[in-house]
Amino acid sequence: MKVTVERAELLKSLAHVHRVVERRNTIPILANVLMRSDPRGLALRATDLDIEIVETIAAEVQQEGATTVPAHTIYDIVRKLPEGAQVMIETSGDRGTLTVRAGRSRFALQTLPENEFPDLAAGEMTHSFTLAAGELKRLVDKTQFAISTEETRYYLNGIYLHVADAGGPVLRAVATDGHRLAQAQTTAPAGAIGMPGVIVPRKAVAEIQRLAENADAEVTVELSAAKIRVSLDRVVLTSKLIDGTFPDYGRVIPVGNDKTLIVDKADFASAVDRVSTVASERGRAVKLSIADGKLTLSVTNPDSGSATEEIEVEYAAEPIDIGFNSRYLLDITSQIEGSTAELKLADPGSPTLVQDPEKRGALYVLMPMRV
């Protein structure tokens, strides 16, 4: 193999693919990135057996071939090369090394044979649809913060992506950790109808977020019962899905909450942030005392003291005292795009519904705390 490639192009691509490679690997080949040159350019592939990223970049190919080299090492080498450098990559078959040259720098890296590299992309995909990258990123951004980190409830360790009926078919993303729930949706693209409901794991969700930076680009999503494949520009991400049953989340979304509280999002978030400074690290509980047109936020911590703050709100129902985890409140308010947030409450022991009054595509459910 012998190719010449722009340093900036190679660095950007290695930055995408090397992230899926674990720092500690018991299987040596999984620490490597597969580099393959052909008439289309240079393709880079990395995997951890659960997720795989392949990216093809423009390159001047003098000789076709393939090999694998340590992913983090070659990423660090290219990162440290001077800007604007032309990078020449060449393998010498007899010695099992890959040579990287740029200017007066020369590196020789140990390789492993490419035929040992696992292929995750194989297998039939039953459903395929396209949508704008910005829409897919919005679905992920609005819900990923609520993904559970508890390994025992593995089926909550991802985003549940499925088609639902909301006066017409919608593509809906849902995540929950048992304390809060986030739901976002967009009009279902053609091809998504009839797709299986799938749970996309946290690591794949994080990579999709990064890849979908260009909001105007088109993304192709392909699905089967076991895998998801997302193709964007020259990048193809394939991931295994979480094999489990996502709970019936519809049962926890309250429908009869009759007390409506409307707050200025920025004022509310700032007040929660300020009073929670004295909250205990473990509980982070903040008490909301809501009466006619007035909200008093208070925190009492026996170890460090107390704090209160009052803000003006729109509220005309009977007074209520309710407690929430301040971190969860801040996570939810940060997702609201408009200037106000709408909280629908029932009583101090029941879940609260939070929505953006200006954009109805997303909703959040928050379980109260004892305060």
User: Is the same domain home to 12 and 42?
Assistant: yes
Domain termination site, one of 204, 221, 251: 251
Summarize pLDDT for 4-27 with one digit per residue, the tens: 999 999 999 999 999 999 888 889
**Token pair in block for residue 185:** 């949706």
Strand order in the sheet with 218-223: 65-70, 32-38, 41-47, 51-57, 235-240, 227-232, 218-223, 127-132
**Token pair in block for residue 15:** 């930055």
pLDDT category of residue 95 using cuts at 50, 70 and 90: low
Q: Provide the pLDDT for residue 94.
A: 65
Summarize pLDDT for 295-308 with one digit per residue, the tens: 999 999 888 899 99
User: Is the same domain home to 207 and 159?
Assistant: yes
Asked whether the predicted pLDDT for residue 125 surpasses 70, the reply is: yes
Which CATH number characterizes residue 309's domain?
3.10.150.10
Asked whether the predicted pLDDT for residue 32 surpasses 70, the reply is: yes
User: Is the same domain home to 98 and 145?
Assistant: no
pLDDT category of residue 29 using cuts at 50, 70 and 90: very high
327 domain-assigned:
yes
Q: Provide the pLDDT for residue 281.
A: 78
Asked whether the predicted pLDDT for residue 316 surpasses 90, the reply is: yes
pLDDT, averaged across the chain: 93
Please state the domain count of the chain.
Answer: 3
Summarize pLDDT for 168-189 with one digit per residue, the tens: 999 999 999 999 999 999 999 9
Domain termination site, one of 57, 81, 116: 116
Domain termination site, one of 84, 116, 148: 116
Residue 86 contacts by C-beta under 8 Å, 6 or more apart in sequence? 4, 5, 6, 7, 102
Q: Provide the pLDDT for residue 98.
A: 94
User: Is the same domain home to 263 and 247?
Assistant: no
Asked whether the predicted pLDDT for residue 122 surpasses 80, the reply is: no
Q: Provide the pLDDT for residue 282.
A: 76
Domain range for 182 is 127-251
Q: Provide the pLDDT for residue 336.
A: 93
**Token pair in block for residue 355:** 């929505």
Mean pLDDT across the stretch 54-68? Answer: 94
Of the candidates 292, 289, 355, the residue with the CA atom closest to the CA atom of residue 324: 289
> Side-chain half-sphere of 301: how many Cα atoms within 13 Å?
18
286 domain-assigned:
yes
Mean pLDDT across the stretch 230-256? Answer: 94
User: Is the same domain home to 238 and 131?
Assistant: yes
39 domain-assigned:
yes
**Token pair in block for residue 133:** 């990258």
pLDDT category of residue 233 using cuts at 50, 70 and 90: confident
Query: pTM of this prediction?
Result: 0.91
